[in-house]
Amino acid sequence: MSNKVVHAIYNDDDILLDAVKKTKAAHHHIEEIYTPFPVHGLDKAMGLAGTRIAICAFLFGITGLCIYASLLKFIMIEDWPQDIGGKPSMAFYQNMPAFVPVMFEGTVFFAAHLMVITFYMRSKLWPFKQAENPDVRTTDDHFLMEVGVHGNEEELVSFFKNTGAVEVKVIDKH
């Protein structure tokens, strides 16, 4: 059994968005869409589920806040208390206003760096990974929609030509 897919290539993001809506309405399964830039509303048109990345960012930020608060408490209160600007060094809550900028920066540092790592892991973008782009024009000015063929090759080709595709190819994917 061959794994054939149709590559419908578009040269305008609005035409692509309209074609995605028509493809979903016709109950064809979209394997992937390759675009040179993010297309607003494409995820909704494809029916993709919402992302939970904001929850990860919040948890990473809370982790950074806790680590930096613990670090400041240990260093500035327990390990090496100092009288800086007349502030007492007896308790963490007494020095908290002076620690807020450092804790804020720690929160942002942890959230930003761990979000980048999470994004790369989730996207499977490892160092030295080969590109999976089927057509080099999609990195410049074209958009490609990949739809699986299930015995309806001629129907799909004519369907995508009617949606405004500038080029429609049937590819045997290995």
d(CA 91, CA 99): 12
Write down the H helix ranges in the chain: 13-25, 42-46, 53-73, 92-123, 153-162
- Highest mean pLDDT range out of 46-50, 141-145, 152-156? 141-145
Query: Sheet containing 30-34: which strands, arranged edge to edge?
Result: 30-34, 143-148, 3-10, 167-173
Three-state secondary-structure class, residue 10:
strand
* CB-neighbour burial class of residue 50 (10 A; exposed 0-12, middle 13-18, buried 19+): exposed
pTM recorded for the entire structure: 0.71
Q: 93 pLDDT band (50/70/90 cuts)?
A: confident
Of all residues in the chain, the percent with pLDDT exceeding 90 is 57
Three-state secondary-structure class, residue 62:
helix
DSSP character at residue 145 = E
d(CA 121, CA 143): 25
Domains and CATH numbers, the chain: 3-50+132-173 (3.30.70.120), 53-123 (no CATH)
